[in-house]
Structure 1
């Protein structure tokens, strides 16, 4: 698919700021491109924002008490602890829900609570708080339900909890349900819980609404630790950071503002973690703790944690994180790795079927893909939807099941998925999510109607359906130096909302290409500019096709500079990201 290359054109006094802060002007430009500061900021304000971006610490996190209902919710929980009442945490079966549950149960136990946790079974219970979980809690003598990473759309279930004599505190980060009134205004519909802690509330003045569910849970526990004045509370808070960091990356949240600090500090903690479960999982995945970064969480550890909730029970992953037994941790970690291997095989099969269905029908003409795979394992719908989105660069839903159909959607940046679902809400028995992802339930007979109506209300233009690569700097490869690359490390952790820098140069020549790898998916070469300057380069992908199409021709490349260390020697190298 042809992608559009766009060079960022944001302005600032790059040279002046660089001199003040002892940064290369290229680094300042990269920071400006990430909207850390604006051209209109006065120098003192700009410098302060940049320093926070580069050196933000735990002390720079916002006061949890600024979040709406934080005080009310903690008071409800403290009352339950004081009265020795039973508390039930209801989590979710994905990585964010698992980590949220881990943070809450660890924190509440530290505060002396009589607390248990349940994570819904994806197939039997579906997403979030449901009637059976509420009734189970009542039968178990539970007095207070606390949700994490869910609950914001569970109004009926919370009413049932109240009818049965239980209280409920919702902690969540998903979009608040809403409806449009007859006069075109938006009416938000939060659940009638005793407290609703969610930075997306319209009446919430908390400075940052990008926290994941585990981030909200972390804030609640930190606030309660402060209120209870527990011993070594700063150290106890830091013990929870690694879980918040894993969830933030794994749930693909923007790595900006507080999230950037949580992830950076959480990774530091993860690098020296003593948690038996995390140690065992890293070992099973062939990783050294000290090398774990956002990539390893997103593409190695995270999928294993998610696999437990997809093909088995997410409580298996939670048990791994909570156990003190090294032996049990190793057994559970091995199970997660095995489950993930099965998940990969099943995903490949489902994706092949989905692609065939799109290519052989008029689905390909739709701006929003709705692919119905009745026999597909329900837990794989979101992954396959994500792969379809990547392949066709358009929003995609994958639906499964035969009676009550359930599905997951994955979106592109220009399409707010949850808002669009609200426009056809009467099709569903249940739905929820946020701009980039959503889950739905609907009767099988309404699948066709859903596809038709979600496309009828779609306003995506051809330009919005064209993938776009934003180039940070059109920079000659001859400008690359070790000290520049080392300064670029200050921009990490990179991920959604804080992307890895992208550079570009035109009129390049490929010299001495060599193909490597069992699957011939690596090409190493020399890259030569118009002035004859040469630098080592590497391409990952179909190496034979790269050599056929690029060798002997003048090409333009987008690239990322790095230092290649081999046998103790450092060499400058560029990783070619795309070419034309």
Structure 2
């Protein structure tokens, strides 16, 4: 895959002006400016913000109305149903609302739909069952904004409905114009409504549930909320929303609570996973979150919800062990399915398509999205993975920044049964006989060129390696937590001399490099995970087929390298280490 390095331009005048005000190093200021933080107030706000900087939840449209309805339901001992979703954001949202309403004295229960039997969001049959069981109020979380018919059915049956959601508002096209379609709920809390004056629009479902809970606590005169904030942090990190503004505060402050959590379920899950000490974004995004997600994919998400709500340590450990083992099973299924799909792509003309559409009826439908994401990462192209559904093939798509997947699906809607999503991800169901036409239409309409399909790596700043030290790493740590919208800074060094190279790992897939710093006559280590192919290209270009004989002492070999600075601790010794993102042969004579 072609790789493009994109170095952002930054005015030295801007850096100097900021430095005089905030006394942050120029290299860190360059990173902050790249994130749009170009005034002293913005920089201070980013570095020092905390829970006191959160916005008043009552600024959300319909929040006042929703809280009034909820308080009346609690006071009148009405039966309240929290209607959630089966992914990590939905499970944590459900846990937040359930815990908050119960603490306020509400007669509350919860329901999370079964992925295969009910599908995403509200289900009319389930709504009818909820009404038959005598519930008076439904409050949704992480769903409901598109449940027009389901909400109306609930209303017809005499239920009150509060919708809390963060997804884009659905619409229909009439004479080339888009007309919004929203459910007829008693209150609709979603900051993406055009009339909503809430200052930040990018909250996930769990964050909106947390804001609702805080508004409810305020109205009922209840203090606390740390136990809800840690759940909101899990949902925020795992839903991959931009870690900016309130999302960054929720993630940063929530991680502190997670590190010392008193929640029996979270404590047990951390123990089973073997997370010790400070909990990081990586721990949540790649360990805790996938475990919570796994139950909704392979069994029922209620297992994860029970874990988060559990108050008994022994029961918590049993549930955590089950959840952990389910995630291992999910990982094995995903790997096997990914390999099958890649084999199908490379063994057919699919490899030539700019938009990949693969149908494999053996893939578990719950992991189609994960597989699509991995295929997209490998080939750098928008990908749809379809598999056998209950009534017809179903699947998921994952996209790249340059391709609005939802807009392109609108152009093919005549061959789709149902679909929905946003620019970067989508879900669909389609008759099997229509799959070839869907593939043809997507590729015929595709305007992506080679540059669009190239892997882009954003470079925050150039730097000479002898200036990379522990102080730089420690100051970068102040920018955490890192994630979407606030990535870990990437630095670039040009014309660096390679002193030594070793391949590591069972399949020699990783590379350890030693770079020589000519200014100081010292060396610095770099680790390049899964970088063997890239490094081999450079050595073969420099030395031919006999390149391995040169790896321990390359002669006059210079490279350009992109990296994230890190600290390596081994046997009580600390040293700077480069986590390499990409490498290329430098345009300098050997």
Q: TM-score, normalised by structure 2?
A: 0.92
Distance, in Å, in 1 between the alignment partners of 2:504 and 2:578 is: 17
Q: Are 2:534 and 2:583, in contact at CA under 8 Å, matched by a contact in 1?
A: no
Structure-2 residue corresponding to 1:110: 103
Distance, in Å, in 2 between the alignment partners of 1:60 and 1:96 is: 23
Structure-2 residue corresponding to 1:203: 195
Question: Which residue of 561, 566, 579 maps to 1:575?
Answer: 579
C-alpha displacement of 1:482: 1.9
**497-506 vs 397-406, which moves further:** 397-406
Question: Which residue of 552, 562, 565 maps to 1:561?
Answer: 565
Q: Judging changes above 3 Å, is the alpha-carbon distance between structure 1 residues 426 and 58 closer, same or farther for their aligned structure 2 residues?
A: farther
Q: Which runs of 5+ in 1 are unaligned?
A: 38-45
C-alpha displacement of 1:110: 1.1
C-alpha displacement of 1:68: 1.2
1:217 aligns to 2:217 (yes or no): no
Structure-2 residue corresponding to 1:152: 145
DSSP-derived class of the 1:190 partner: coil
Q: Judging changes above 3 Å, is the alpha-carbon distance between structure 1 residues 172 and 428 closer, same or farther for their aligned structure 2 residues?
A: farther
Q: Which runs of structure 2 are paired with 1:54-73 in the superposition (5 Å)? A: 54-73=47-66
1:28 aligns to 2:29 (yes or no): yes
Q: Which runs of structure 2 are paired with 1:392-541 in the superposition (5 Å)? A: 392-401=379-388, 403-529=391-517, 531=519, 533-541=521-529
Q: Judging changes above 3 Å, is the alpha-carbon distance between structure 1 residues 525 and 447 closer, same or farther for their aligned structure 2 residues?
A: closer
Q: Cα RMSD (Å) of the superposition? A: 1.9
Q: Judging changes above 3 Å, is the alpha-carbon distance between structure 1 residues 432 and 70 closer, same or farther for their aligned structure 2 residues?
A: farther
C-alpha displacement of 1:544: 5.5
Q: Judging changes above 3 Å, is the alpha-carbon distance between structure 1 residues 82 and 349 closer, same or farther for their aligned structure 2 residues?
A: same
Structure-2 residue corresponding to 1:186: 178
Distance, in Å, in 2 between the alignment partners of 1:282 and 1:471 is: 34
Distance, in Å, in 2 between the alignment partners of 1:574 and 1:170 is: 47
Q: Which runs of structure 2 are paired with 1:184-333 in the superposition (5 Å)? A: 184-230=176-222, 233=223, 236-288=224-276, 290-333=277-320
Distance, in Å, in 2 between the alignment partners of 1:426 and 1:281 is: 45
Distance, in Å, in 2 between the alignment partners of 1:378 and 1:547 is: 37
Distance, in Å, in 1 between the alignment partners of 2:197 and 2:449 is: 34
Q: Are 2:357 and 2:385, in contact at CA under 8 Å, matched by a contact in 1?
A: yes
C-alpha displacement of 1:384: 0.4
Q: Are 2:527 and 2:577, in contact at CA under 8 Å, matched by a contact in 1?
A: no
Q: Which runs of 5+ in 2 are unaligned?
A: 540-550, 585-590
User: Number of paired residues?
Assistant: 566
DSSP-derived class of the 2:482 partner: coil
Q: Are 2:535 and 2:583, in contact at CA under 8 Å, matched by a contact in 1?
A: no
DSSP-derived class of the 2:393 partner: strand
Distance, in Å, in 2 between the alignment partners of 1:533 and 1:161 is: 74
1:174 aligns to 2:167 (yes or no): yes
C-alpha displacement of 1:522: 4.2
C-alpha displacement of 1:70: 1.1
Q: Which runs of structure 2 are paired with 1:311-390 in the superposition (5 Å)? A: 311-390=298-377
The C-alpha deviation readout for 1:74-109, integer Å capped at 9, x for no partner, is 222222222221111111111100100010101111
C-alpha displacement of 1:373: 1.5
Structure-1 residue corresponding to 2:20: 19
Q: Are 1:507 and 1:530, in contact at CA under 8 Å, matched by a contact in 2?
A: no
Distance, in Å, in 1 between the alignment partners of 2:416 and 2:295 is: 27
Q: Are 1:535 and 1:572, in contact at CA under 8 Å, matched by a contact in 2?
A: no
Q: Are 1:522 and 1:538, in contact at CA under 8 Å, matched by a contact in 2?
A: no
DSSP-derived class of the 2:80 partner: strand
Distance, in Å, in 1 between the alignment partners of 2:115 and 2:447 is: 32
Q: Judging changes above 3 Å, is the alpha-carbon distance between structure 1 residues 294 and 25 closer, same or farther for their aligned structure 2 residues?
A: same
Structure-1 residue corresponding to 2:128: 135
Distance, in Å, in 1 between the alignment partners of 2:186 and 2:569 is: 56
DSSP-derived class of the 1:460 partner: coil
